[in-house]
Chain A
Amino acid sequence: MVQIAQRMRRLRTLLAIRIGPGAAVLPPTVSRIHMDFAVRINQGHRGPRHFWRHMLPRLKYHNPAVPMTISRTEDQTAPATLSVWLRDSTFPPNPNPASSEAPTPTSAERLVTIDMKNKSENEILDAFLATTQGTPVYPTPEEKQLALDIEEYRAKSLKDSLRAKAVREAELREKKMLEMARGAV
């Protein structure tokens, strides 16, 4: 297994799943979320894909009880929609979905769809939060400090790696020159 310090340092980046754009607590009226978009990013499917990759994990972390499913199609001309099922807060939650197909809403639920085509992930998030009235989660002072530490560490490691690369390249150059000199004799 990998060295423990390295593993723990990597795990610090879990912070990125707790806070950041998309970290929001949804009200209990949201019963499930489903996204429909295409496999590749051309023809306006870039935003939906980024929303899934970057913001949906944060939403899922803060709302583990809300089922979030995705179905992607090979057809790039297909529409990209984000469907939200809203229900009365007294209604019992949905059973566990067996597949990633979108079910039809029951009588007590209301289906709201957001068009995601040709929109950036931030626009989609704004529209989604406006629809669901979710409350964003802001970082605590400790989390902010941790984020700053991570950023500082990242900047330092980038600087170090560039320096090490320069040293390695210089060594390689010298070796090559020596070889050439030997070859000439």
Chain B
Amino acid sequence: MASIASRFTSCWSRIFSPAPRRPHLQCPLVPLQQARGAAIGGGAHSLNAQKYKRKDTATAAKKKNKARNTFINYDLKRAEQFSLCDAMRYIRAFEVGYPPSSPKYELHVKLRTLKNGPILRNRLRLPHPVKTDVRICVICPPDSPTAVAALKAGAAMAGDEEIFAAIKEGKIEFDRCICHVDSLQALNKAGVARILGPRGLMPSAKTGTVVKDVAIMVRDLVGGSEYKERLGVVRMSVGQLAFTPDQLQRNIRAFMEQLRKDMGLLSDRVSKEVHEVVLSSTHGPGFSLNGEFKSPSGVPPKDLSVA
């Protein structure tokens, strides 16, 4: 984002002559605080001054210290918002010249939410997967029916003792790790948490990576993507640059649908609402979306389907 300003500034001077200076409104501002202080001057300790001294300084300080418990949500009334096709047109101009599978579209969903409340965290399988080469490791007894099923579903490796030994040697050749419920004890005893934990690979029931039906989980993970709310914003990559507007729309719709479901599952006391949806990309700026597919003056969507 920071690049757009600097990237094109050189051209301004070339097209346009330097700006005529707008006459500045020179307001003869008298520093009021000083003026008042000077008037009281030497008689600051007079009786009158003490009588009218502000008494609520303590309460003012208390008010200031009270931290807000929600994130600031700016009013979007004056924000410029774009239809999906218009935003895509700009983004594709920013990403011109990169191989079509390399830059990704990202979606940022700003929520109206409490700072200290529960957060949204889940994974989903988009209609058009963004990244399909995830290597998955399954912890379960080797050569058991579960291991066979997991490998069939697309896992890179399945086993227990061999994998623990490999991890301890520092060979971690996978991006995700899931564990069968029955093998959890073996995993905890193996002492690999020290290695896997910091990398965010350690399976635990809290992250939903300890499951009974490993095969289904693997199928979900291959081509699935995770998302998590951080500071009131959920960010996820929703498409490759080569996607057509229709593909991207289906992905965004699926993601928003899932978010809505997640928000409904939270307890009744906390409420979360979507405040703003922003589409950005690997090298492009963020475009606030207005929820429409195309604007009346925009280019036809089929023009946006080529590299």
Residues on A lying within 8 angstroms of B by beta carbon are: 1, 3-5, 7-8, 10-11, 13-14, 16-17, 19-21, 35, 52-54, 56-61, 64-70, 93-94, 96-100, 139, 144, 147-152, 154-155
Contact = CB atoms under 8 A, between A and B. Distances in A.
A69 B307 contact: yes
Contacts of B286: 7
Interface residues of B, number: 51
B242 interface: yes
B92 A10 contact: no
Contact of B306 (A4, A65, A148, A154): A65
Given A35-B97, A67-B307, A97-B307, A13 B4 contact: yes
Contacts of A96: 242, 305-307
B4 A93 contact: no
B89 interface: yes
Contact of B16 (A98, A144, A155): A144
Contacts, number: 131
Interface of B: 1, 4-5, 7-16, 18-22, 74-76, 78-80, 89-90, 92-94, 96-100, 108, 110, 233, 242, 276, 278, 285-288, 299, 302-307
B177 to A, nearest CB: 32
Nearest to A95: B306
A69 B242 CA distance: 12
A154 B9 contact: yes
Interface centre among A66, A69, A93 (most CB of B within 10 A): A69
B15 to A, nearest CB: 6
Nearest to B1: A10
A8 B82 CA distance: 12
A35 B90 CA distance: 21
A64 B299 contact: yes
B75 A4 contact: yes
Given A14-B90, A35-B97, A147 B12 contact: yes
Interface centre among B16, B76, B97, B100 (most CB of A within 10 A): B97
Contact of B78 (A8, A13, A97): A8
Contacts of B20: 148
Nearest to B12: A151
The 6 closest A-B pairs by CB, nearest first: A16-B8, A4-B74, A65-B303, A70-B97, A61-B93, A60-B96
A147 B15 contact: yes
A54 B93 contact: no
A1 B79 CA distance: 14
Contacts of A54: 7-8, 10-11
Given A13-B8, A16-B12, A144-B16, A8 B79 contact: yes
Contacts of A97: 100, 306-307
Given A99-B99, A155-B19, 20 more contacts: A1-B233, A1-B278, A4-B75, A7-B288, A10-B285, A16-B12, A17-B4, A20-B8, A20-B12, A21-B11, A21-B15, A54-B10, A57-B94, A68-B97, A70-B97, A96-B305, A100-B98, A139-B15, A151-B13, A152-B21
